[in-house]
Amino acid sequence: MRVTRSDRLAALPPYLFAEIDRKKRAAREAGRDIIDFGVGDPDQPTHAFIIACMQQAVTRPENHPYPLGGGSPGFRRAIAAFFQRRYAVDLDSNRELLALIGSKEGIGHLPLALVNPGQTVIVPSPGYPVYRASTIFAGGRPYTLELTEAGGWLPDFATIPAAVARDAVLMFLNYPNNPTAATATLAFYERAVEFARRHNILIAQDAAYNDLYLGHNPPPSILQVPGARDVAIEFHSASKTFNMTGWRIGFVAGNGEAIAALGSIKANLDSGVFAAIQEAACEAYANLDRPELSQMRELYRARARAFCDGLRKLGFRAAAPDATFYVWAGVPVGYDSMTVCNRLLDEADVVGVPGIGFGPTGEGYVRFALNVSVDRIQTAIERMAAIRW
């Protein structure tokens, strides 16, 4: 039979990471030594204290049946305790928390729960591609909220047309930001909450990198703003904080009605997170002050310094990030992001992600993930220096 693809897939922009992976695999199959700054996947193993907890949890028969879809009571209580310690925010663990199979899954399903066909969703550019893709899957209309370097990669809500604000039902935010590494203050979140309240819009703040901070000040939560839970939810992930990308566990907190709606979608599509993984995540979130985590942050600081110093000598504009493990670099004058990334791979065996893949205002930049040792970073810079820009 001839299989046809749905119109939903035809409406999606190309998923850039898949194309990058294709070219990278081809280069490796040809025997080339590729230095990969592409996909944001930590190169360090999951911390040993988390693995030890998992090893015990996986042997207990009570963890083997289908898990509860919203997360076990123990997991939700542990996350509520984490939120109180970290942000001084008291959450109702029964109404205001939901376990996710990684935050990407929850973000991908959220518009299905909240957006009717034809309704507007405000999506940042540059931004994580899943915000736009999930909107399209739900039949929503993405409105591009442009972020700029001059604006600190923070949105100016006053630029959103009145008609868009009137029609929008959902707005995605993401700080610390992927791909730009920009951070947001509590004052910014206060403005966001005021805007959302005025226009009856739900904010979905993606805080996957909140505990991967490289500066001195841990980033705030939007839920610290008084009344934020009336208009906001916040997604968190264990993936980057604890080097647990393959474990697939995260959570969403905030507005109880939005969380219940997302939970209804998930009840029809998945069977929850393996209970042993939930136990391991409880151990992780109970131990954010362990030395392993501060050592990991220092590792990324050293990599960021080495890489940004080298990039600047090559004509890129690159500032060491205050959070995330990404370097968002302005390309040499006269080049576009796709051309730069193609030349990096073809001439230096180095993989970066072209900024255009994160939206139109990402043009002129390349994202590099710091999942490469300092020695390999220095090798990459040496190879890149041989390119004639």
For residue 126, cis peptide bond before it (omega within 30 degrees of 0): yes
Instruction: Give the pLDDT of residue 19.
Output: 72
Model confidence band, residue 209 (pLDDT cutoffs 50, 70, 90): very high
Instruction: Give the pLDDT of residue 44.
Output: 97
Q: Which two tokens stand for residue 323?
A: 């959070």
Across the chain, what does the average pLDDT equal?
A: 96
Instruction: Give the pLDDT of residue 360.
Output: 94
**3-state DSSP assignment of residue 247:** helix
Q: Is the pLDDT of residue 288 over 90?
A: yes
Of 257, 288, 226, 286, the C-alpha closest to 89 is 226
Beta bridge partners of 213: 323
Q: How far apart are the first and last CA of the chain?
A: 50
Q: What percent of the chain has pLDDT over 90?
A: 91
48-285: CATH architecture:
3-Layer(aba) Sandwich (3.40)
CA 153/CA 95 separation, integer angstroms:
33
**3-state DSSP assignment of residue 328:** strand
Model confidence band, residue 21 (pLDDT cutoffs 50, 70, 90): confident
Of 246, 297, 299, 279, the C-alpha closest to 74 is 279
Q: What percent of the chain has pLDDT over 70?
A: 99
Q: How many CB atoms lie within 10 A of CB 139?
A: 15
Instruction: Give the pLDDT of residue 368.
Output: 98
Residue ranges of the domains in the chain? 7-45+291-385, 48-285
Encode pLDDT of 214-266 as tens digits: 988 999 999 999 999 999 999 999 999 999 999 999 999 999 999 999 999 99
Instruction: Give the pLDDT of residue 11.
Output: 84
Instruction: Give the pLDDT of residue 308.
Output: 98
Fold annotation for 7-45+291-385: Aspartate Aminotransferase, domain 1 (3.90.1150)
CA 387/CA 188 separation, integer angstroms:
41
pTM confidence score: 0.96
Question: In the chain, at which residue ranges do the beta strands (DSSP E only) sit?
Answer: 35-36, 97-100, 120-125, 141-146, 168-174, 202-206, 232-237, 250-254, 326-330, 350-351, 353-354, 365-369
CA 38/CA 233 separation, integer angstroms:
29
Model confidence band, residue 14 (pLDDT cutoffs 50, 70, 90): confident
Residue with tokens 């041989």: 386
